[in-house]
Amino acid sequence: MIKTDVVIIGAGPTGLFCAHQLGIIGLKCEIVDNLDKIGGQCIELYPDKPIYDIPAVPKCTGEELTNNLIEQIKPFNFNFHLSDRVQELKNKNNKWLVKTLNGKEFETPNIVIAGGVGSFEPRKFPTKSAEKYDGKSVLYSIKDKTIFKDKSVVIFGGGDSALDWAIELSNSSKVTLVHRRDEFRGAPASVQKIKELSDNKTIDLITKYSIKDVKGNGSLESVEIKNESGESKVIKADYVLGFFGLIMQLGPIAEWGLNLDKKTIPVNTENFETNKKGIFAIGDICTYPGKLKLILSGFHEGALAARGCFKYARPDEKYRFEFTTASSTIKDRLGVKE
Amino acid sequence: MAKIKYIEFNGTEHEADVANGLSVMEGAIQNDIPGIDADCGGGMSCATCHVYINDDEWFKKLPEKEMGEDDMLDQAFEPKSNSRLSCQLIVSDDLDGLTVHMPEKQV
């Protein structure tokens, strides 16, 4: 059990800057994110796209913004818990007991939800029948590639993950690659390689088809695919892999009784607390009259939520407002030597 | 200004007058029309404002897809050859009378 002042859910720009503000006022926090890296949407959706509306930064990419925010909170040495997700919240004696998917437990008076529009999860096949085999023979990521040796593997998708795995597995498995159109969005070199492998019959390449059904009797036997004219084909399959990118799912947050309004959490604008004492929501996931889904708004929200957390984390102390330019306490926290 | 008809997967029809310059996606969001999520807010980075243009004439009349729209549509729920991202359809008088059909779900 880790005891801390605040658990932040989401390591996007808003969560990171809130952590900075917590550090400045002398609070500790632990940051949980289900991506395997820090940065949230900035790093997952648009690492290379320039952003033009960060105050005093005329232009920076999602990756640059993330790196600068990480740099800014370095002095505080906060822990990140990546590839993990907060699964369960329980209130006990005015403290929140937080459990994650990987079994980590935290005890904290404050939770700051900076979850964007939810956690990133692989998009799954639309076919109901695929659910039965989910995690067994219908997979959306690969942990152990040896299980595919000498097996028939049908891969769906047109991006880098689909192409890279089709190339990799073609050495030791019977690979069929299915994509909904003739063009691929993967790297040109991979597309070229796929075409070569298809020309020399190392892999079967089927385009303009998508999944219709998976069939089996206990274990997976085949996958049926269809085109838009309604024609279908059945392909023998021991494994079916889908690589359709990531989607954002609100996940367990929806179950915490936060009066959700269209996937967003209503908050007050004084300290961004939700209807539950000690649970704050900031960034894209919160809503209030006039809300703008801008990174700069998330920064402001994080700064105020941090002060809101102080009240519960240090009930016997009075919060004192200080400037970073003037306060020696803050400079000590930042490790600044003058 | 254009009158846009949005038809949900279950057949429920909605009509909205959408001002020129807004996207078809924004027309739906601003009028509380269900069936279009637009998680990323119009950045062409999430594929949750996916619609079908069932009328072939209309599909051809629409502004062409920019680079990246098809890549994003690969990640949509049940994309077809008449799929578009509604955040990329900018409303003008030319779009008056357009009908878009929403997929069964967005995520």
ipTM of this complex: 0.83
pLDDT above 80 for A338: no
pLDDT at A143: 84
pLDDT above 90 for A309: yes
CATH number at residue A172: 3.50.50.60
Residue where one domain finishes, among candidates A227, A244, A261: A244
**Any idea what the Cα angle at residue A206 is, between residues A203 and A211, rounded to 5°?**
115
Residue numbers in B near A244 (CB within 8 A): 74-75
Over the stretch B26-80, which tens digit does the pLDDT of each residue have?
999 999 999 999 988 888 888 999 999 999 999 999 999 988 899 899 999 999 9
- Written as six digits, the tokens of A249 are 């799912």
Find out whether A238 and A137 touch, Cβ atoms under 8 Å. Answer: yes
Picking from A46, A117, A183, the nearest residue to B39 by CB comes out as A117
Over the stretch A196-231, which tens digit does the pLDDT of each residue have?
999 999 999 999 999 999 999 989 999 999 999 999
A128 and A231 housed in the same domain: yes
A314 and A165 housed in the same domain: no
- Written as six digits, the tokens of B73 are 């549509």
Which range of residues forms the domain containing residue A92? 2-121+247-334
Place of tokens 């519960």: A312
Residue where one domain finishes, among candidates A244, A277, A311: A244
Over the stretch A253-294, which tens digit does the pLDDT of each residue have?
999 999 998 789 999 999 999 999 999 999 999 999 999 999
CA distance A260 to chain B (A): 15
Q: What pTM value is reported for the model?
A: 0.77
Over the stretch A120-155, which tens digit does the pLDDT of each residue have?
888 899 899 999 999 999 999 888 899 999 999 999
**Any idea what the Cα angle at residue A164 is, between residues A161 and A166, rounded to 5°?**
105
Binned at pLDDT 50, 70 and 90, residue A118 comes out as: confident
Task: Provide the number of structural domains found in chain A.
Answer: 2
Find out whether A226 and A125 touch, Cβ atoms under 8 Å. Answer: no
Residue numbers in A near B43 (CB within 8 A): 45-46
Confirm or reject contact between A45 and chain B (CB < 8 A).
yes
Write down the mean pLDDT value for chain A. 95
Q: Tell me, rounded to whole angstroms, the distance of Cα A232 from its chain centroid.
A: 35
A43 and A178 housed in the same domain: no
Find out whether A114 and A9 touch, Cβ atoms under 8 Å. Answer: yes
Question: B2-101 maps to which CATH number?
Answer: 3.10.20.30
Binary contact (B107, A210; C-beta < 8 A):
no
Binary contact (B70, A181; C-beta < 8 A):
yes
A24 and A108 housed in the same domain: yes
Residue where one domain finishes, among candidates A221, A244, A267: A244
Which H, E and C letters describe chain A, residue by residue?
Answer: CEECCEEEECCCHHHHHHHHHHHHCCCCEEEECCCCCCCCHHHHCCCCCEECCECCECCEEHHHHHHHHHHHHHHHCCEEECCCCEEEEEEECCEEEEEECCCCEEEECEEEECCCCCEEEECCCCCHHHHHHECCCEECCCCCHHHHCCCEEEEECCCHHHHHHHHHHCCCCEEEEEECCCCCCCCHHHHHHHHHHHHCCCEEEEECCEEEEEEEECEEEEEEEECCCCCEEEEECCEEEECCCEEEECHHHHHCCCCCECCEEECCCCCCECCCCCEEECHHHEECCCCCCCHHHHHHHHHHHHHHHHHHHCCCCCCCCCCCCCCHHHHHHHCCCC
Binary contact (A46, B45; C-beta < 8 A):
yes
A131 and A238 housed in the same domain: yes
A76 and A135 housed in the same domain: no
Residue numbers in B near A46 (CB within 8 A): 43, 45
Binary contact (A126, B78; C-beta < 8 A):
yes
Q: How many helices (H) and strands (E) does chain B have?
A: 3, 5
Picking from A179, A248, A293, the nearest residue to B46 by CB comes out as A248
A212 and A287 housed in the same domain: no
Picking from A41, A185, A293, the nearest residue to B74 by CB comes out as A185
